[in-house]
Structure 1
């Protein structure tokens, strides 16, 4: 298995909110908007999120060249460092259809400053990937060759319906370089089974019994992470024994997402439930319109965001107004909450 340089000390992942960041483009040319990418990363870090993910599905990795993907990760890392967030980890998606190409992207992500990889199933040859042995071999070979630890990404909606079940994920997760799973399948039951079998790390809370938050002692043996894949089941993830969420809605509502975790950690379940209701309502309009909806919400709330890269469609004026109107109640709470840093 490929290993990072001996001098490298990897930033540990802590339980909490992780944001799969959007990639921003010049509205006229569709070139990368690097200043906005950097500003956005720092805004999220100030809100108290546990880490950022570049080149996930929200980052439109499939619409970027490999050089552009590395550039986004590089600027995200350097923007965090320059703003005083050197210990905020950056995870990078590695989207490719073959073992060899995926390992190359993992290496490029490492060179760009990422410390972990988010890895989705290959799906172009869907019929072949229906054989679990083939899929198992793909993930295992990438994990063998990647210089960075792997977080599995189970998102049937973008990989032609490929849905890894809990038995398969638990089997895969015996690999020493596979350290977690993101459950964008929406199955909290599956998350619960995997989290229990893998003894996933959880936030400290008087409401839960499980491994304590990451400490120097616990890092002697690598912890496992079970992440919910949407903001609208953040609390449900915690109740199910999860480690945190990786949520596109946190691009717009990072403080509100963090507040759900804080209330859980403080044992304030009733208050956390009320916040989760508000968060779920706000997250739905972005989930409904996917990437264009999230960018439209950022534009309405923060004055930047723009549009996806073609061929992803742009929202109509009526849809943009719907997004702006329906995000307002959640933004009222978001603006009342304070940045952590």
Structure 2
């Protein structure tokens, strides 16, 4: 059922109603799901989301069968691909079923959020899991991508308050985590107003080079067109399956012939779904236009928006002992 894009289960996920085996948006609950994702993108962690959803003054509907939201439920909502138009069956993070096959397929039910938003949320969740929750909501935009060019460790945000060591003004900077906690690295602490502009300048430099190179290179392949072609081919296979099933029902072909035809169709489907999964799992690209406007966007953004901007563009940024930086960008189209 899932491979055919049909919902498997008797209880619909929060945000949807189930009628005749199909999912339909529940407007009241869907608003909660959209609010959940919007606040997650704005910097709220799961625990802060739970607090917001359970606050009576915010008038948020409760989850089904419970008087309050929990971290487990909110986590499950953010991870659930049903909200971007997919259905899934199999292992969803339960270690007990870690060897179980997971099947995910595009469905025809109406999504509550778009697929880009859902994949962005998965990326953020993984980043916050690796570098810790507080770095996801702090005031240092480069935390999570900035690394020490000396030892390779993460650079963390560090504030030295005014008055400490006779300092007149507070000091905001990035410090190598290995130096702060283990004292095994000699990398100095770098001021925010030195490293952050250096990273933006490096992105601009890379963007300029890529734009010049793009003028002399052929156009890249149109991945959107490839996805459309795959969907069209899958639809045609679905129609072929129906045709052979009808032929069998009318006794035009034997059961053995039907099995042979369906096996051929299943093999073709598996190949197409593998191609589709590769396209789906590919990292979300950023555009040259985004890179070109990075300084303008940076200057107009607050710290949280700057954090989201950097994470959408940069895989890793390295700072060396001489203050020079190297930036590894995410996939660009």
Indicate whether the TM-score tops 0.5.
no
**TM-score grouping bracket, smaller chain normalisation:** under 0.3
**Higher RCO structure (Cα 8 Å, ≥6 apart):** 1
Give me the TM-score of the superposition, normalised by structure 1: 0.23
- Pick the structure with greater CA Rg: 2
Give me the TM-score of the superposition, normalised by structure 2: 0.24
